[in-house]
Amino acid sequence: METTKSLKILQLGKFYPIRGGVEKVMYDLMLGLSAQQVHCDMLCASTEGHPASVIKINDYATLFVVNTSIKVAGTMLAPGMIAKLRQIAHHYDIIHIHHPDPMATLALYLSGFKKKVILHWHSDILKQKTLLKLYKPLQNWLIKRADKIVGTTPVYVRESPFLQHVQHKVDYVPIGVNAIEQEASGIEEIRKRYPNKIIVFAVGRLVEYKGYEYLIRAAQALDERFHVIIGGKGPLHDQLQKLVGDLKLEERVSMIGFVRDEELSSYFAAADIFCLSSIWKTEAFAIVQIEAMSCGKPVISTKIPGSGVSWVNQHDVSGLVVPTENPEELSLAIRRVGTDPTLYQQYAAGSKQRYRTYFTREKMVEKCRQIYGK
């Protein structure tokens, strides 16, 4: 591993401030590698009006943010990334580019960079058909150009239709996070709001692929011992809130809106069960699962064809995996885990152990260093 200390790495793609899962992986890799005195910078585009800037993180890490200014085919583009990468690319031994990101791919294509490229394949482009049509030639170039392609789970990269002909250079690096910090006061406050309840927690954008409709419908078959809490905001808020009302579930389901980071840790820790009801392959990994697992919470998730979700949550080890779009199976799994103390403790211990084995930030950084070293 000492050989990697002489390397200079650039994480390339996505946005700042950090909001999405891909950005979090890039940023955490930069922090984790630089903490081990491996030089690792990050180049990304601005979002939420953040100004173009150069942010020195520490002696081994600098964050370059360029302005985002154009929207094409539903994606935000930052032409400044091209000029910035051409200016700095020669400083690096490896560019670690995160997909999907058309702007970052174009910048790499035009950069003249001749050294090693790691392609981090977080997900296929699924819904944005127009974008894929425009981007496909560049995507094909990137797949061919990459010296190594890594996914977040072995399942996703093995089954992606875009990577079938390059399996010889495919590997995987499970996403890793630091364990959720649990504060007793925040946990106690949440438990007081839902006294004597088995709390089932779910969090994420209120969009169709998250499958919250099925979780809400599942609550119909739960008795008064259970309470479902759904955190997040999004375009389906009003529709889902109406469904709660139409099914007369106001006493059993709470939609609490956007949850700030400082509160989110308390919800993970206060919950008894974490539920991921997603229904489409757009959900490729679900970092929220491993955040819940870091707290030793049993996870109930869905079996999404081609996705890595059910690899992350191993059935009958860290929780249960049920079919998608199936409220009956969701409610049955919640009841099984929530009402059998022996089974609950088994899954709670399995969840914590699986987190420690695969999903710590240290494990993610270590695996990346191994790949860089090769």
User: Per residue in 208-233, pLDDT tens?
Assistant: 999 999 999 999 999 999 999 999 99
Provide the whole-model pTM.
0.91
Question: HSE on the CB side for 112, CA within 13 Å?
Answer: 9
Q: Which fold has domain 2-176+360-373?
A: Rossmann fold (3.40.50)
pLDDT-wise least confident of 80-84, 99-103, 129-133, 347-351: 129-133
pLDDT digits (tens, 9 = 90+) for 242-268: 999 999 999 999 999 999 988 999 999
User: Do residues 340 and 10 lie in contact, with contact meaning Cβ atoms separated by under 8 Å?
Assistant: no
What whole-number distance in Å separates Cα of residue 313 and Cα of residue 42? 30
Q: For the chain, what are the domain ranges?
A: 2-176+360-373, 184-358
Q: Is the peptide bond before 79 cis (omega within 30 degrees of 0)?
A: no
pLDDT at 128: 66
Length of the chain measured in residues: 374
Answer whether 2-176+360-373 and 184-358 agree in fold: yes
- Measured over all CA atoms, what is the biggest interatomic distance in the chain, rounded to whole angstroms? 63
**74: pLDDT strictly greater than 70:** no
Three-class DSSP category at 260: coil
Q: Which fold has domain 184-358?
A: Rossmann fold (3.40.50)
Q: Among the residues of the chain, which ranges form H helices?
A: 21-35, 80-88, 102-111, 129-145, 154-159, 184-193, 212-218, 237-246, 261-270, 287-294, 309-312, 327-339, 341-358, 361-373
pLDDT digits (tens, 9 = 90+) for 334-354: 999 999 999 999 999 999 999
**54: pLDDT strictly greater than 90:** yes
